[in-house]
Structure 1
Amino acid sequence: MCESLKNEYQLFEEIGRGRFGTVYRCFSPSSGEFFACKTIDKRLLTDPTDRECLEKEPKVLQLLSGNPHILQIYKLYEDENYLNIVTDLCESPDLYERITKSTFTESESATILKSLISAISFCHHMGVAHRDIKPDNILFDSRNRLKLADFGSAEYFGAGNEKGTMRGVVGTPYYVAPEVLMGREYNEKVDVWSAGVILYIMLAGVPPFYGETATETFEAVLRGNLRFPTRIFRSVSPEAKDLLRKMICKDVSRRLSADQVLRHPWIISVGETRSMADLT
Structure 2
Amino acid sequence: MSQASIFVEDWLCYNTNLGEGAYGEVKLLLHRKTKEKIACKMIDHDKYKDASLHINREVMIHKFLDHENIIKYYGRRQEPAKEYIFLEYASGGELFQMIEPDIGMPSSEAQKFMKQLMNGIKYLHGKGIAHRDIKPENLLIGADGKLKISDFGMATLFRFKGKERLLDKKCGTKPYLAPEVLQRPYYAQPADIWSCGIVLVAMLTGELPWADTTNGNEEFIKWKNEEYLCDTPWRKLGNTALALSKQILNIDSEKRLTLEQVQKHPWMKFQFGNDDESDVVDSSGEKSAKRWNSMMEAETRQNADTPDVALSQPNLPSSRKPASLVQLLKELNEGGARNGRGAFFSQPAQNADLMTHFAQSTITKENFQDFIKSMTRFYVKSTHERTLECLCNAFEQSHYTWAADASGAVVISTVDLMKNPLVFKVNLLKMDGKVMLDFRLSKGCGLEFKKKFLKLKESLKDIVDNKNI
With the length of structure 1 as denominator, give the TM-score of the two structures: 0.83
- Is the 1:9–1:29 Cα contact (8 Å) retained in structure 2? yes
Looking at structure 2, the residues matched to 218 and 230 of structure 1 have their Cα atoms a distance apart, in angstroms, of: 12
State the match for 2:309 in structure 1: none
Looking at structure 2, the residues matched to 241 and 218 of structure 1 have their Cα atoms a distance apart, in angstroms, of: 20
- Following superposition, the deviation at residue 172 of structure 1 comes to 0.9
- Following superposition, the deviation at residue 198 of structure 1 comes to 1.2
State the match for 2:380 in structure 1: none
In structure 1, stretches of 5+ residues that fail to align are none
Say whether residues 1:86 and 2:86 are aligned partners. Answer: yes
- Following superposition, the deviation at residue 223 of structure 1 comes to 6.7
- Is the 2:209–2:232 Cα contact (8 Å) retained in structure 1? no
- Is the 1:173–1:218 Cα contact (8 Å) retained in structure 2? no
Deviates more, 1:67-76 or 1:214-223: 214-223
Structure 1 residues 232 and 152: alpha-carbon distance in aligned structure 2, compared to 1, 3 A threshold? closer
- Is the 1:132–1:172 Cα contact (8 Å) retained in structure 2? yes
In structure 2, stretches of 5+ residues that fail to align are 1-6, 281-469
Looking at structure 2, the residues matched to 51 and 221 of structure 1 have their Cα atoms a distance apart, in angstroms, of: 39
Looking at structure 2, the residues matched to 244 and 143 of structure 1 have their Cα atoms a distance apart, in angstroms, of: 28
Specify the code of the residue in structure 1 equivalent to 2:62. L
Q: Secondary structure at the match of 2:271?
A: helix
Structure 1 residues 156 and 119: alpha-carbon distance in aligned structure 2, compared to 1, 3 A threshold? same
How high is the sequence identity, in percent, across the aligned residues?
A: 27
State the match for 1:10 in structure 2: 12
State the match for 2:271 in structure 1: 270
State the match for 2:41 in structure 1: 38
Deviates more, 1:256-265 or 1:144-153: 256-265
Q: Secondary structure at the match of 1:26?
A: strand
Q: How big is the alpha-carbon RMSD for the aligned residues of Structure 1 and Structure 2? A: 3.1
Looking at structure 1, the residues matched to 225 and 201 of structure 2 have their Cα atoms a distance apart, in angstroms, of: 13
- Is the 2:179–2:214 Cα contact (8 Å) retained in structure 1? no
Specify the code of the residue in structure 2 equivalent to 1:265. P
Structure 1 residues 146 and 96: alpha-carbon distance in aligned structure 2, compared to 1, 3 A threshold? same
Looking at structure 2, the residues matched to 263 and 78 of structure 1 have their Cα atoms a distance apart, in angstroms, of: 44
Specify the code of the residue in structure 1 equivalent to 2:183. M
Say whether residues 1:178 and 2:179 are aligned partners. Answer: yes
Looking at structure 1, the residues matched to 65 and 218 of structure 2 have their Cα atoms a distance apart, in angstroms, of: 31
- Following superposition, the deviation at residue 129 of structure 1 comes to 0.5
- Following superposition, the deviation at residue 122 of structure 1 comes to 0.8
Structure 1 residues 223 and 231: alpha-carbon distance in aligned structure 2, compared to 1, 3 A threshold? closer
With the length of structure 2 as denominator, give the TM-score of the two structures: 0.52
- Following superposition, the deviation at residue 85 of structure 1 comes to 0.9
- Is the 2:92–2:140 Cα contact (8 Å) retained in structure 1? yes
- Following superposition, the deviation at residue 145 of structure 1 comes to 1.6
State the match for 2:96 in structure 1: 96
Looking at structure 2, the residues matched to 37 and 52 of structure 1 have their Cα atoms a distance apart, in angstroms, of: 19
- Is the 1:178–1:224 Cα contact (8 Å) retained in structure 2? no
Structure with bigger gyration radius: 2
Alignment size in residue pairs? 269
- Following superposition, the deviation at residue 215 of structure 1 comes to 8.8
Richer in helix (by share): 1
Alignment of 1:228-267 (within 5 A): 228-229=229-230, 236-267=237-268
